[in-house]
Chains A and B, each alone.
Chain A
Amino acid sequence: MKSPSIDCPKCALPLEWQSFNTPDMTRCPSCATPLRVEIFPAFFGDPPASEAAGSLAVDNESGCYFHPQKKAIIPCALCGRFICSLCDIELSGQHVCPSCFETGQKKHKIETLENHRVLYDDIALALSIIPMIFIWPTIATAPASIYLSIRHWKSPTSIIPRTKVRFFVAIFLSLFQITGWVILISYLATL
C-alpha cells in the first residue's frame, strides 16, 4: 500500500512537513510556488482496527439479524433490525443495515447517497423561454413545458433547497404562449 503524501499542485513533488499547517503561505522547495497546506489527523489515520469484525454474541445478548453469531450493537434506524458492527453503516449520524442501504440507494430514498439529479424545473423553464426567440417552436414546447412542470412538480430537484418559482414561471409563460396561439388560430379561422 502506498503511504499518503502531499504533493505540490504545480510540480507534483512531495512536500515536507515543515510546510504543513503554517499560518502563512510557504513555498514549494522545488518550484517555489506559494502554498498553504492544511493537514488533519485523518492524514495519519491508522487503518481501521479489527474490531470491525465484531465480537461474538453470548447467550443473554441479542445477535445480529444478518450474522446471528455476532453481537448486535445497534438497531437499524430504518427497519429496526439489530445489527452488528460489521453490518452497521453510518449515514449522516443514522445507523442503517446493508439491506436498507441498498433499498435506499435503489429507490433514491437516502439523500446522502445521491450523486446526480436532473433539474426538471430548469428544463421546464428553458422550454418555455428559449423557443420564444424563434416563435414557431412554442406551439409544441409550451404544452411540453406545462406537461413537464405538472409531471415533475413533486419530483426531487436540486439537493440544495430551492423554491417552485421556476415551475410557476414556466407554466405562466407557457399558458401565455398557448393563449397567443389560440387567439391567432381563431383569428385566422374567422378570416
Chain B
Amino acid sequence: MGDSHLLFGHTIGMQQRYVMDKDYQRLPGEGRKKKSIFGFSRLYLGKDHLLCVYNSAYTEDYRRFYFKDIQSIVIGINKTRERFSARFAGAALFLLLFAFWRGGYWAVFFMILACLFLLNALINWRFGPTCTCRISTAASREELPSLGRLKNAMQVIEVLKPLIAESQGRLSPEEIRTKASALKDRSSQLP
C-alpha cells in the first residue's frame, strides 16, 4: 500500500482509490433492507460522511454518518451463507429426485430447475462468508444491509478507517485499555 492518492483531500491507499470526480463515490456491496421486498441499499462515500441509500423502487431514503460522529463499526460473521446454500442445495436435490421419479420430458424440466438451484447455491457460496455490519454514533446504531458479505465489509472498513482517523484522530491500544476501564468504572458508579 505504498502508493497513495488524494480522495476529497484525504490521503488514501492505492487499493482504496475510487472515482475522484463525483460528490459521492460508490462503495462495494449492495443489500436488501430487512422486511422490504423491492429496493436495495447501497453505501456511498461523501466528503465528510458516509451515505447509506435505501432505494425502494421510486423513492430514496438517506442516512448520513459523519466521520466525526462515528463511534464504532462492528462486523460479526453470521451463518446466512450456509443457511441459504443449504436451502438451495436441498431444493436442487429434491428436484433431482423428483426428476428421476417422474422420467420423460418432465425429468428434463426438473433437472434444469435443479441445476439452476444448484448454481444459485454455488454462486452464493462463491461470494464468501456473510456478516452483519453495524455502525454506531452517539445518536443511533444502525445495521448496514449493503455490507452483508465479509469481503465487502472489510474493504469498506479499510476505506473508512483513515478518513475517520483524519477527523477524530487515532486510538492506541494503550489508550483503548485505559479509556475502556475508565468508562467501565464510571458506569459501575452510576446508580
A residues in contact (CB < 8 Å) with B: 1-10, 16-17, 20-21, 25, 28, 33-45, 92-93, 112, 114-119, 122-123, 126, 158-161
Contact = CB atoms under 8 A, between A and B. Distances in A.
A41 B59 CA distance: 35
Interface stretch (B28-36, B119-127, B166-174): B166-174
A158 B171 contact: no
Given A3-B187, A17-B176, A114 B62 contact: yes
Contacts of A123: 58
A126 B51 CA distance: 26
Given A3-B187, A112-B64, A122-B58, A42 B69 contact: yes
Contacts of A8: 76
A158 B26 CA distance: 14
Interface string B107-149: 0000000000000000000000000101011100000000000
B68 interface: yes
B157 A159 contact: no
20 contacts: A3-B183, A7-B74, A9-B134, A10-B76, A21-B171, A34-B77, A35-B74, A35-B77, A36-B74, A37-B72, A39-B72, A40-B165, A41-B169, A43-B136, A92-B48, A115-B62, A117-B59, A118-B59, A159-B24, A160-B44
Nearest to B57: A122
A60 B115 CA distance: 82
B61 interface: yes
B60 A117 contact: yes
B48 A161 contact: no
B93 interface: no
A95 B165 CA distance: 23
B138 A159 contact: no
Nearest to A18: B177
Contacts of B187: 2-3, 5
A40 B173 contact: no
A161 B22 contact: yes
Contacts of A160: 24, 44, 53
A39 B58 contact: no
B91 interface: no
B1 interface: no
CB-based closest 9 A-B pairs: A17-B180, A3-B187, A9-B76, A43-B71, A34-B77, A9-B132, A36-B75, A44-B179, A39-B72
